[in-house]
Structure 1
Amino acid sequence: MTDVVISTQEGAVGILTLNRPEVLNAWNSPMRQRLIEKLIQFSDDDSIRAIVLTGAGDRAFCAGQDLNETKSFDAERAKSWVEEWKTLYNALRSSPKPIIAALNGVAAGSAFQVALLCDFRIGHAGVRMGQPEINSGIASTTGPWIMREHLGLARTIDLTLSGRLMNADECVQIGIINKIVEPEQVMPETLALANMLAEKPPVAMRLDRQRFKEMTEAGFEDCLAAGTRIQAEAYASGEPQRMMELFLSRRTKSS
């Protein structure tokens, strides 16, 4: 059986690859759970001093939530879904190791959020990033908190309500992609950065990341509490389920 998250190690760098390329590495519950396990494993491994997160294939880092999963949710399942994201985001935020996103393609919705929770992002000119959840009827809760921390309220409102994707140039201009390279150089450049970070004193690295977590913890807890309430209300209304079915049917007709 193919592993939905592939883990490898190169020297002091652990590499995690989201591996559902047939659906642009879109999230489902098994992939979230597997990524959590691997992040904790790498975080606890003293031989690993930096972590790289990327996606399989050459089209997407991750397209966000797999709508084939969420289209059947009810209010109670929506609440447990939020808890899954809390666990994953906690694993990213709590790791003592620096985390770098190697952006090999689109990073949309929750994948955009995961990329922003990494410490650095390396990409190429074809990368697109944004928060298109509204287009499929998903209310954004964790996304606005993460975006506001990085981008400010005005741009957060723009991206949340329009659902547009930013191109790589805009992402560089606003500081959320650290470096643009040729597509074939994304992983080599990311590994070079990871190796540089791996040489930093590990206690100082752990304490710096710990402090970033402490500084943002109140907002994180607030957005998760809001997420539980808002997603339950949204799914109880039936609108997300209807919009996702419509979105998927349009995509099937156009393919």
Structure 2
Amino acid sequence: MYQAISTQLENNILIITINRPDKMNALNQTVMAELALAVDEIYSNHDIKGAVITGAGEKAFVAGADIAEFLSLSPKQGEELAKKGHVIFQRIENSPKPIVAAVNGFALGGGCELAMACHFRIASENARFGQPEVNLGLIPGYGGTQRLTQLVGKGKALELMMTGDMLTAPEALSWGLVNHVVKLEELLPKTIAILRKIQTKAPLAIARVVKCANAALDKDQDGYDTEIQEFAACFATKDLQEGAAAFTEKRQPNFTGA
């Protein structure tokens, strides 16, 4: 089905692998189109409870975009390219099901932007992060200027984007860009373990947590009002009744997403 990515569904977790190891898993139009289809499947397939995005091999998560595709673009085509990237990455960011980046090497340019669009990031010890677009006379175009600033703060984000420097995995951890740093062989097991823990929680509540957290960073929304409305909506769910009953009965809840 796919040429530039691969997918594997195990125990309700979809593993999406950017599969161009000979090109350091660089993003091109094919990767982006196929990634969009895989994200659509996350939304539509009820068997999928969460997802991992990672890269093939041991060197790169996604080491940027396929620069050769940029050389002939007009400003209008550049705008269209950025808009397409924004749509796909916003779909990842707004997914009601958790999507976690397992960063297994270089996450540069569009790769760093892809990782930041995920709900959170787990990195291997050899991971490297950066937005080096200024080296090409460019700026991040898939939301990187916004998400990096939100995640690490304006000063650090500007330094990283203006110097084009790379962060090591420990530096990314200290900056708050990633949640955990583990050995490469532990990367997928750690990521899947977190997703399996999330699977034991109420899925409608998880989706509402995502919505509220994103509202906190959206200038067009009142995040506090969003929280009030989503909190209230929980009271119409069977999952709240089940969770409360399980708590009082001292047993594990059986959430159904209803």
What amino acid does structure 1 have at the position aligned with 2:202? P
Q: 1:170-218, CA deviations, whole angstroms, 9 ceiling, x for partnerless residues?
A: 1111122211211111111111111111222100011111222333334
Deviations 1:9-57 (A, max 9, x none): 1111111111111111111111111101111111221111111000011
Alignment of structure 1 residues 130-141 onto 2, 5 Å: 130-140=130-140
- 8 A contact 2:107–2:127 mirrored in 1: yes
Report if aligned partners of 2:54, 2:104 keep a CA contact under 8 Å in 1.
yes
Contact 1:58 1:104 in 2 (8 A): yes
Partners in 1 of 2:219 and 2:88 — Cα distance? 17
Give the gaps of 5 or more residues in structure 2. 221-258
Match of 2:247 in 1: none
CA separation in 1, counterparts of 2:214 and 2:140? 21
**CA apart distance, 1:157:** 0.9
- 1:135-191 Cα shifts (integer Å, max 9, x gaps): 112123532211111111100110110000001111111122211211111111111
How far did 1:62 drift? 0.1
Query: What is aligned with 2:239?
Result: none
Q: Which residue of 1 aligns with 2:249?
A: none
CA RMSD of aligned residues (A): 1.7
CA distance in 2, matches of 1:5, 1:122: 20
**Following the alignment from structure 2 to structure 1, what is the Cα–Cα distance between the partners of residues 147 and 181?**
22
Q: Does the Cα contact within 8 Å between 1:40 and 1:95 map onto a contact in 2?
A: no
TM-score normalised over the length of structure 1? 0.82
- Is 2:197 the partner of 1:196? yes
Instruction: Look up the equivalent residue of 1:198 and give its one-letter code.
Output: Q
Q: Which residue of 2 aligns with 1:64?
A: 64
Structure 2 counterpart SS, 1:216 = coil
> Which residue of 2 is the match for residue 173 of structure 1?
174
Q: Distance in 2 between matches of 1:41 and 1:2?
A: 13
The offset of 1:88, in angstroms, is 0.9
- Larger helix percent: 1
Alignment CA distance shift 1:143-1:213 (3 Å): same
Does structure 2 retain, via aligned residues, the 8 Å contact 1:103–1:123?
Answer: yes
Instruction: State whether structure 2 residue 208 is matched by structure 1 residue 212.
Output: no
The one-letter amino acid of 1:195's match is: R
CA distance in 2 between counterparts of 1:166 and 1:23 reads 21
Distance 2:218 2:5 in 1: 27
How many residue pairs are counted as aligned between the two chains? 220
Instruction: Quote the Cα distance in structure 2 between the aligned partners of 1:188 and 1:157.
Output: 33
Q: Which runs of 5+ in 1 are unaligned?
A: 220-255
Deviation above 4 Å: which 4+ runs of structure 1? none
CA contact (8 A) 2:90 2:117 kept: no
**Residue of structure 2 in register with 1:156 after alignment:** 157
Matched to 1:11, the amino acid is N
The separation in 2 between residues aligned to 1:82 and 1:116, in whole angstroms, is 16
Residue 2 of structure 1, CA deviation:
6.0
Q: Percent identity?
A: 29
AA partner of residue 127 (structure 1): A
Native 8 Å contact 1:13 1:198 kept in 2:
no
Aligned twin of 1:32: 32
Is the CA contact (8 Å cut-off) linking 2:2 and 2:34 kept in structure 1?
no
**Residue 14, structure 1, aligned to residue 39, structure 2:** no
Matches within 5 A, 1:11-160: 11-140=11-140, 142-160=143-161
- Alpha-carbon distance between aligned partners in 2 of 1:190 and 1:115, rounded to the nearest angstrom: 13
The residue identity in structure 2 corresponding to 1:157 is L
Q: 2:52–2:101: 8 Å Cα contact kept in structure 1?
A: yes
Larger radius of gyration: 2
Q: Could you tell me how far 1:94 is from its partner in structure 2?
A: 2.2
Instruction: Spell out, residue by residue over 1:63-91, the C-alpha distance to the aligned partner (whole angstroms, 9 max, x if none).
Output: 11110111221112111101111211121
